[in-house]
Amino acid sequence: MDQVRHLIRCKHYSIRTEQVYVDWIRRYIYFHHKRHPSELGEEHVSAFLTDLAVRRKVAASTQNQALCALVFLYKEVVKKDLGEFQNVVRAKRPQKLPVVFTREEVKALLVQLDGTAWIMGNMLYGAGLRLMECVRLRVKDIDFGYKQIVVRDGKGAKDRVTMLPEILIDPLQRHLLRTKALHEADLRGGFGSVYLPFALERKYANAGRSWSWQYVFPASRRSVDPRSGIERRHHVSEAMLQRAVKAAICNAEIA
């Protein structure tokens, strides 16, 4: 697994991708009774993927995630061609349409949120941000002068600009004052360095401690970065917002 992690980091994949790939590769190895992947081939990968669809009944997106992890394993680590996977039973894709709330339902949902969750909820439903785009926002991405939010490295690895809703300006400014005080306390304690993309961290050694690079929505506690071993404050967990929105939907009695 150390070799897998090393190659993932050489390619500058995200920590989330690293965790997902390592998890699927480990499951694959255990599925085949801890045999080394170099001893296995296309038929073994097909058997694992088919088991996910038939016995475990995973979603198509989950099965595809496992496939991507195993393709990486064989292409980058084992250096072995896997073929076309023609015998894999594919997981079924859901037929239902995505849930789209009406304007009235969005208002009812947002009324049930408060504090940081309310600000983030308004960014999702008022500014059109995706969940991970919201939690990964940096201070420098908020432009109060032009009332804009810059979404960097969004879907398709593209940057885009979206509006900053008027209703968010005052609450967000107050929120950032509290966030800045938290950052300054971290700095006084000898911390305050935030994760930066690899190229930026090499080019601007001290940028990680600057206010502009801090997360708009930082975690309540510092944690040790699993890659660098540095204790730092990451962004808030997306699960926090997911739980808050789910509870708001229930409280607003939105079907």
Residue with tokens 């938290």: 182
The reported pLDDT for the residue numbered 179 is 97
Q: In degrees rounded to 5, what are phi and psi of residue 21?
A: -60, -45
The reply to whether CATH 3.40.50.150 applies to domain 2-78 is no
The reply to whether CATH 1.10.260 applies to domain 103-251 is no
Summarize pLDDT for 28-60 with one digit per residue, the tens: 999 999 999 999 988 899 999 999 988 888 888
Summarize pLDDT for 89-134 with one digit per residue, the tens: 777 766 555 567 888 988 999 999 999 999 999 999 889 999 999 9
218: confidence class by pLDDT, cuts 50, 70, 90: very high
Distance in angstroms (rounded) separating the CA atoms of residues 136 and 165: 18
Enter the DSSP assignment of 150: E
Predicted structure pTM score: 0.74
3-state SS assignment for residue 152: coil
Cβ atoms of 223 and 209 within 8 Å: the answer is: no
The reported pLDDT for the residue numbered 80 is 85
Domain with CATH 1.10.150.130 in the chain: 2-78
Distance in angstroms (rounded) separating the CA atoms of residues 144 and 83: 52
Reference 225, options 185, 196, 252; nearest CA is 196
204: confidence class by pLDDT, cuts 50, 70, 90: confident
Angle, CA 134 vertex, CA 67 and CA 19 arms, to 5°: 30
Cβ atoms of 254 and 115 within 8 Å: the answer is: no
Domain with CATH 1.10.443 in the chain: 103-251
Number of other CB atoms surrounding residue 232 within 10 Å: 19
